[in-house]
Amino acid sequence: MRIYKIRLLSCLPMFCLLQMVSTAGQAADGAFETFQRFVNGQIPVAEVVVHRQIASTNGHVTNHEWWRCGWQSNTWYCQRLTPAPNNPAKLVPLARNEVVGESRTHGWIISDQNVHLVARTNLANSILDTHGAFPRDLLFRAISLGIPRIMKMRKIEDAPVVWNHLEFQTTVTTARGASGMVVSNSPLVGKVLLNARGCPGSAEFPNLPTPGRTVVVYEYNGENEGIPSAFIVRYPDAEYRYEFLSLDLMSPEYAKGNEYVPSMFADPKLERFVTIWTNSNSYSLVKGKMRPNFGGKIAGQDTHHVGLIILISLAAVSGITLTLWYRRSGHGAR
């Protein structure tokens, strides 16, 4: 009996060690799964503030860019920022205080002077779409964590990263015409290497259609396990460093019933011109009256089947849009 007890006790340290290894493995798997879901836009983000620094291989910094953005399923926003002139440590909006985004039904742009609205069915290739291309690109690059994908897309779900444990497959642009238009896209296969804590430490993609070797290196600050605090994309001729200065995640339960709308970024004390883009022309709501903006058209949309009653309805809706969205969004509650 004594021998049995000795054997049982001698097994306990090994049993505890196995339990610890199993628990650590589960935590590592959870962190990696969080990374994978973040890259595919499946983790709702109330707001992240990003700094991007571009430097040549000799360390000479050639560009800085700051922005804040947020996203969840089928809705997002992005606003470019800049250091305050009298306090470089503080970030403030650019001069026009412009925010670009999409709710689940409309594309929109809001500034201190204007609000532009267009139904998402008419958003593709519109003036609002073109104007918002750069902020949308900044948003998608923050989500992608350096993983290559097609950036000229309407939403992150249009360019998924398909994971097979550490390996991933995505699609990248491989050829452009003289005007910069995409000529062809090709699949890309890459691999993530885990660090000692089981989080992605780097990513590489040998068949990226650029000369030389490109890798991504990830940094962590101990917060938001599985989501890097910074990542560096090292091209043969330059380094792009992205740092999350702050990251505020959103609970999935809250995200289900909310969306990003202009009222979340509106100072109610300011008066704005409201412009509604239809399927052929734009109309401005000025002091309660609809006025057509002749010459303003949505590219590729030449139909004129919008009835007068629909335009009147749009005018009425636009007049109360900020009020309704202000109430619906809880004035930016997270």
Instruction: Work out whether strand 282-286 and strand 215-219 pair parallel, antiparallel, or are unpaired.
Output: unpaired
User: What pLDDT does residue 284 have?
Assistant: 65
Q: What is the mean pLDDT of the chain?
A: 77
CA geometry: angle at 97 spanning 269 and 259, to 5°? 80
Taking a C-beta distance cutoff of 8 angstroms, is the pair 77, 70 a contact?
Answer: yes
Q: Tell me the C-alpha distance between 29 and 237, whole Å.
A: 34
Q: Which amino acid is at 56?
A: S
Rounded distance between C-alpha atoms, residue 68 and residue 110, angstroms: 15
Contacts with 273 (C-beta within 8 Å, 6 or more apart), sequence order: 113, 114, 115, 284, 285, 286
**Mean pLDDT, to the nearest integer, of 92-105?**
93
pLDDT of residue 299: 40
Fold type of domain 29-157+224-256: outer membrane lipoprotein receptor (LolB), chain A (2.50.20)
Q: What is the pLDDT of residue 329?
A: 38
Residue pLDDT, tens place only, 256-268: 778 899 989 988 8
Q: How far apart are CA 171 and CA 189, in angstroms?
A: 9
239 phi and psi angles, rounded to 5 deg: -125, 130
C-alpha distances in Å from residue 125, one per residue of 59, 105, 248, 276: 38, 16, 31, 16
Structure tokens at 279: 């399927």
Residue range 180-239, pLDDT digits in tens: 666 677 888 999 999 988 899 999 988 776 666 789 999 999 888 899 999 999 988 899
3-state secondary structure of 238: strand
Q: What is the pLDDT of residue 175?
A: 67
Domain definitions of the chain by residue range? 29-157+224-256
Q: According to the model, what pLDDT value does residue 323 have? A: 34
Contact 40, 161 (CB under 8 A): yes
Residue 82, exposed/middle/buried by CB under 10 A (0-12, 13-18, 19+)? middle
